[in-house]
Structure 1
Amino acid sequence: MPIKETGFRLAWSIARDAMWIVIPLLIAAAIFGYKYHFPKRIAADYPAVEYRTGEPSSAEHTAIHVKGKLYRPLFRDRYFKGRIAIDKYDFTASADYTMFTVKFNSDVLNGWGSFGYSAYLNRTIKMEMLGAIWQHDDMKELKFTISEPIGASEKQWKGLTLIAPADTIEEAVAIEQAFSEREQTYLQPPP
């Protein structure tokens, strides 16, 4: 019997010593995973189409320039810090305006984010909320719902949508449809 008891004690001793290494490593990994936000540098120029939903003849071509970092923390909402400039809206590229950090709320319409800018001009703070933004696949696809009228303090969405990357209204509608399907999937109750 002493051989089995010695083997058990040896195994227990090794397991106990290993726990002194494994547990601190697991704690360090958990802290790292919580604190580190896994940034991804984004620098992209996209062709874009702006149109009114249901009115293909209203399509206008523009371009979107994205530069900044998309932060992807574990188990929390993604957010983007940087600048998204839309050629059609001059203030979005102006050095006077700073873009707000966009937080993509995973609990709201499958990743909705508020999209706006602020500036300190002539001793007053000016805020320009452009509307809402959704992104897919680390900002490889973008959807904006533009609130109107631009420049007014009170705005509402009247169907003006901006999609990138898209060269034609057909491409824009297809991407917008994919965003809508993801939103509908998100809104479905679990089986």
Structure 2
Amino acid sequence: MRKVIVPIIALILIMLILTFYKFPKEIHVTRSAVQFIENQSESAKQTSVKIDGHLYRPYFGKTTFEGTVVIDSMPFSKHDTMLEMVVSNENNNIYQGNLTYQSNQAPYMISNQGLIWVDKDFKNINIWGSEQWLDEGDSTNPLYIVAPASHLDEAVNVQSQMRSSFGEDFVPKL
């Protein structure tokens, strides 16, 4: 009887661990980046992206990131709270998720949103920001922040490499 109970208890414990443990990975990276508006090469300027937090990759369930993504050229990313990023799509070791920032002042509304693609090592980063990020009114062309890059050609190359790995859902679609 004991030969049967011990393996069953061990199996139950393993299943519980796989079900509830989130397998955290600590992330602390700072990357030089280029910010630019699509089809407006004169808009390119240097910035940096700093990511600090924990990536949780549970065996069952969605991968999430809890922490901060601070873009040096975007003041809201420094003072607003970033909500948990849920990875909505993963393809060829690249995560896609929503960047959502919430105001720290009443009425605590969503202040800014965007999309982010980042590889599993957080080496390559592509952020698609909304036109609100620039405080320049409506823009028909999207804003991108790409790292690692020190000039526009490097940023476009990083996007190209990520697009070829991730597939057709990667933005920009060029």
Identical aligned pairs, as a percentage? 25
* Deviation at residue 185 of structure 1 after TM alignment: 7.0
- The corresponding residue for 1:118 is 102
Contact 2:81 2:104 in 1 (8 A): no
TM score, norm. by length of structure 2: 0.81
Counterpart secondary structure, 2:73? coil
Question: What residue ranges of structure 2 are gaps of 5+ in the alignment?
Answer: none
- The corresponding residue for 2:132 is 149
Task: State the distance in 2 between where 1:186 and 1:62 align.
Answer: 25
TM score, norm. by length of structure 1: 0.75
RMSD: 2.7
Contact 1:104 1:134 in 2 (8 A): no
Higher fraction of helix: 1
- The corresponding residue for 1:90 is 75
* Deviation at residue 85 of structure 1 after TM alignment: 0.7
Greater RCO, 1 or 2 (C-alpha within 8 Å, sep 6+): 2
Contact 2:74 2:133 in 1 (8 A): no
Mapping for residues 52-63 of structure 1, pairs under 5 Å: 52-63=37-48
Counterpart secondary structure, 1:106? strand
Question: What residue ranges of structure 1 are gaps of 5+ in the alignment?
Answer: 1-15
Q: Deviations over 1:7-36 (max 9, x none)?
A: xxxxxxxxx654332222122111101101
* Deviation at residue 51 of structure 1 after TM alignment: 1.8
Change (3 A) 1:20 1:118: same
Task: State the distance in 2 between where 1:119 and 1:159 align.
Answer: 23
User: Which structure has the greater CA radius of gyration?
Assistant: 1
Mapping for residues 1-191 of structure 1, pairs under 5 Å: 17-94=2-79, 97-106=80-89, 111-121=95-105, 123-150=106-133, 158-184=141-167
